Structure formats: structure tokens, C-alpha cells
A and B are shown apart, each in its own frame.
Chain A
Amino acid sequence: MPQDAVSLTGRRIRCPLARITVASLLCLAFIFFSCASSHAQESPYIVTYDHYLEEPGNLEVEYFSTFGTQRAGNDFHAFWMEFEYGTTAWWTTEFYVDGQTTFSDSTVFTGFRLENRLRLLEHEHWVNPVLYIEYEQTSGADKILKEVEGHDVESDFAEPNSVLRQEHDHELELKLLLSSTFKGWNVALNPIFTKNISPSEPWEFAYALGASHPLAMKALPQRCNFCRENFIAGVEIYGGLGNVRNPGLPNTSHYLAPAVAWNLPSDWTFRLSSGFGLNDNSHRLLLRWGVSREFTGFGEMVRHLFGGRV
């Protein structure tokens, strides 16, 4: 029989989501107090990936929220937490957990994802390719909209959580991350190929395209929070491209999302993005924000813990 978790005040917590929250908070507290932090230079993208990987041995902990409007249903707040680890300079691995609250309905845990990004070329080129491989195990109630695939449309999310949770997805997702940086501009294009592991489901296609530029190209000598060098502005456009049986734009949804990242000298990064639906199949608004912090020496700590030589 499953046991209940205990909160910091000693009360027993029966909700699985609360158990996950308590465990996550404890993990965060541990990482926060035991690892050195590192200043990150994060892009403003939330959906698109550029070719920059996590520095080796570093752990980046990220939290993101998405508020979405829903016609013919209740608005929702979806959230996910990412643990991104730089295994090597050419390999980054990530673990996600996600959930959502549908207003006037319920809060549910919606699944997890395992992701790997592999850099393919040693040096910088005009276009830098990175291979992205993800396995995700989610329920139909997943609303984080980290990517919009195939024929995903707004009406798919209108059902109550109790109905949506009945659906279980095991998906393999492949992306080719193509990214280029020139004179401060970064342009990234991600063709996306998704396959539900169920044999009857077809391959689905999607895309994400992003461009960004820092507000200042030179750093000031003094440490500052609000100087322009700490801000990167950009825009993303993403959407579905149908599936192998019905490829193309009919019955797909698309979004345009201006975004900004604020990289603080105190090692925190904040991101804000406001996504607007571009056609009638899209949510009117996807307002996203995220906060992240990067910690150095995590890999060394774990290696040392298990007897590795320093």
C-alpha cells in the first residue's frame, strides 16, 4: 500500500502531486545550498533550441509556467521543471516533470520526459547541427505545449482533466537543431519528427524557428543588474505540420511569441514570452515565464560521492 509523504510541518500529504512537490523542493534546497552557482547566458527561447549545450558537469534547474486561454473550456496553467545536466561539452541530458491546473477543474501530474542533445560537429560553422532525442511518457492532460505537433489544435484541450487523463502517450521525438550565430544574432530552426510508440500512430511533423539578439554587445566594467548586456530579446514562431498521412498546414495551429531573457549577475535567469495564436485552431494567448539557475560542480560532487577520485 503506498505511503503518504510528510510535509515540512509534519502533516501527511495524500496528493501525489504534493508528494512530488515536497520531493522537488527538498532536491532544490539541497542543490541550492550545496553547489556553487554559475552565471548563465541563456537565450530567450522557450520552445526553440539553439546549438548551445550545458557546460560539462553543470546542472541547470529550470521552472516554467504557461498560462493558456481556452475557448469552449477552462483556461489553464501548465508548469514543468527541467533538470539539465552537461554530461560532456557535446552531450547534454535533461529530465522534465510536468503538470497542469485547469481552472474550475483540477490539478494533475501529466508526465515526464527524458531528453538528450548531441553536438555533431567539433567547431563552429555557419550552421551548427545538434541532434535531439526525447522520450516522453505523458497523459492526454499534458498542456505545457513545449512543442505543437502534427494536428494539435486548441479544441484538443477543451475536455475536462478526468477525460484527458485517460489517454496515455509514449512518444519518441527527434529534432534536428540547426543554429547559427553572426554579429550577435542567433537564428535557430528546429524541424521536429514525433512518433507515438503505438504502431497505429503515424509520424507527426512540426517546426520551431527563433531569432534573438542581445541588447548590448559589450559588457560594462562594473557589475550591474539592469544594464542592457544582461537582456536578450527574441521572437519564436512554432506550430504543427500535420502527419505522414495528412502532411501540410490544414488543421494545424501556429504561434508567434516575442520573448526576452534577463540574465542576472546573481546567477538567475528570468524569461518571459507571450505567444499569440496565428489561426483559429490556436489558443488565443500562451503567456509563459520561467526562472532558472545554473550550478557548477554537480557532476564532480556526484562522482566524489560514489568514490571517484577528485
Chain B
Amino acid sequence: MKTRSTRIQFDLLVRFPLPCIMTIILCLSFAQRLALAQNEGAATQRPRQSVYAPLLKVPIAARARENPFEGNPLDATAGGKLYSQHCADCHGPKAGGTHYGPSLLREEVQHATPGTIFWILTNGVVWHGMPVWSKLPEPERWQIVTFLESLHPQSGRPANAP
């Protein structure tokens, strides 16, 4: 019975390929829009401490590295451009987090040293979903760090300094 049903569906697809494919496209498109609409900001409602745990595992020497572009508004702007191109899909356009990546506005990130953020950006958190970004040249990674620091320039730092 199941085989017959499958065959009928396949026959429909073969006889009327264009309408069938267009219907599938419309359904997939609708599902995609729905998923994306629900995505942004939803994760930020559920703070999860564990996703920030990798920040505490950064080597001490890496934490101590200084940001060569610290406080430079042009580099912060360039970093914002890079952030929107490479990071916003997972962390949200305003860094507030999505289902893919955690918020970067929380104090765990904002109180981290520039070197800590740079190390995470370079090495990723591969087993937990964040890819490595060492393919961006080092100055561009520092520009992204500068942008992230500029989101809350009044925040106190550094909580996890070496």
C-alpha cells in the first residue's frame, strides 16, 4: 500500500514536474521565512552559562595580548562591517545572540580581555559549533574585537584577566 502511494506521488512529480517543484519551493520558502523570523533574539531569552565556559579556558598568555587598535573609531567601524559579514548570522545583527550563537552583549564577553576574545575568534569552539576564523587576517580579527569592545565601552574590565 505504501509502495503504491509512493509510486502515485512519483508519477505526479514525473508528469507535472514544474507545478510540483514550484509547490515544493513555495513550501520550503515559507518554512524558511518562519524559521528565520523566530530565530533572531530567541536564544537571548534563555541565558545559558555553559556556552561562555570556553572563555575561561583561554591560555593565560593569550588573554594578556593587547588590542593594537584599542579605541580607534575607524577600526571599530571596519570591525562592525566585518562583524556583519561574518558573525551576525550566528550572533545576531546587534550581537544579541540567536539559536546558533550566544549573545556577545553579556558580561561574560564584555568583561573578557581583548586577548581572550581574539583567541576565541582565532580558534573557534569547534566541538560546540563555532568555526575557526583564522582565515581572516590577524588585523581584521583585531578590528572585530575593537568593534565588540565598542558595543559597551563603559563596561568595567577585566574580570578574567591573567
Contacts and interface: CB of A to CB of B under 8 A. Distances in A.
Centre residue among A33, A41, A214, A218 by max chain B CB count within 10 A: A218
B2 interface: no
A55 B131 contact: yes
Contacts of A23: 21
A304 B30 CA distance: 10
Contacts of A35: 32
A220 B74 CA distance: 8
Contacts of B18: 6, 8
B141 to A, nearest CB: 10
Contacts of A29: 25
Given A39-B85, A305-B31, A218 B78 contact: yes
Contacts of A305: 27-28, 31
Interface in B12-32: 14-15, 17-18, 21-22, 24-25, 27-29, 31-32
Give the dominant DSSP class at B's interface. Answer: helix
Interface in A6-51: 6, 8, 23, 26, 29-30, 33-36, 38-39, 41, 43, 50
Interface stretch (A94-102, A133-141, A181-189): A181-189
Given A3-B15, A301-B32, A310-B35, A265 B85 contact: yes
Contacts of B135: 41, 43, 50, 52, 181, 186
Contact of A33 (B29, B122, B123): B29
Give chain A's interface residue range (CB within 8 Å of chain B): 35 or more
15 contacts: A26-B25, A34-B29, A34-B33, A52-B131, A89-B125, A89-B127, A90-B126, A122-B126, A124-B123, A217-B139, A219-B81, A219-B143, A265-B85, A297-B36, A305-B28
Interface of A: 3, 5-6, 8, 23, 26, 29-30, 33-36, 38-39, 41, 43, 50, 52-53, 55-58, 86, 88-90, 119, 122-124, 181, 183-184, 186, 214, 217-223, 229, 265, 296-297, 300-301, 303-305, 310
